[in-house]
A = this chain, B = another copy of it.
């Protein structure tokens, strides 16, 4: 893409109220824009990042047999009343009233109740199970203090998956499969991810599993056992002020880190949702049973913010290849249309700075925007190009063919 066609252009200054690094850099880079507190437009560059995150998730979930769909966002009050969450999730859920009709609805902060309503309409026999369905959709959460840029918003994008099974064993097996798929997703992006034991919040009284990434901006504290790799959210320990905890699995001392929760998975079994909403099936022997249910979430816009928190320097973002909006940033210090075309035709995603600005501004933009590779074309270099990785200082002078080989590798 030509930079002259990108909307909007980069900014020199971060918003005055910005504290978190992702807030500053994503706004300056033109990745996101704030509509109101906790509510962000994912601008074209940001949307490219989120699309890549979504595609990685989609590939890993489809690989274990999950089906993509799309559920509505405005929900009938009655369904949320069935589990008591119309009032029980009050602190986080937007309960709204249509000003004209006075009718009351919930805006989706999650979809357990809605999925369960769907399942009970369509499942009757054990032959209809298991089911694993997911969607990428907007979530609304009435956060008292949205903060951390796009780490905690009132409206954001989430991938949520729901599965239902005939037995608890089957559910547990699938729960492990999803857990492994999540680890793959986060590792493909480039994160070092800690699978962490945690409490269930407004979702369940069971223990749940969170996927945590170490970052200063994180709101969570995770205890990590480097010996056996067992991790636990601080909230599940009795003495929450202690900075040292012993590992429950191997007894070694755990280190404590500030972390960002990028995913979480909830094993509900046949309690709560299945029980209260009467979601059942008839088994092989004609006996009526409740389904065993679980849900699984990844905050995809939060993942983008986390990536920026983890990979940045004083100059800007340093995207990992897997989710970078473009593979390379082509800085044209003379007309580079030909190079741009040849790279594009070779299937390389290139952001081509075709503006008439000076070299300094162009280099600053390349650093701010953070594509994995910067290419420079200039009179001085003749037919060759300068090749520099965003996360290295070393620059090399290479031929077009050498660069193509590297970018395709």
Contact = CB atoms under 8 A, between A and B. Distances in A.
Interface stretch (A71-79, A333-341, A395-403): A71-79
A331 B73 CA distance: 36
Specify which of A65, A70, A105, A133 lies most central, judged by the most chain B CB atoms within 10 Å of its CB: A70
B43 A69 contact: yes
A68 B47 CA distance: 7
B90 A95 contact: no
A239 to B, nearest CB: 34
B142 A101 contact: yes
A98 B142 contact: yes
Contacts of A135: 47
A206 interface: no
B90 A100 contact: yes
Interface residues of A, number: 59
Interface in A76-116: 76, 90, 94-101, 104-105, 107, 114
Contacts of A46: 69
Contacts of A7: 67, 122, 128, 131, 133
Contact of A121 (B6, B33, B68, B142): B33
Nearest to A62: B1
A255 B383 CA distance: 64
Given A33-B122, A74-B154, 19 more contacts: A8-B128, A35-B72, A39-B72, A41-B71, A41-B114, A42-B71, A43-B69, A44-B69, A47-B69, A47-B70, A50-B70, A73-B138, A74-B140, A94-B98, A96-B96, A98-B142, A99-B104, A100-B142, A137-B138
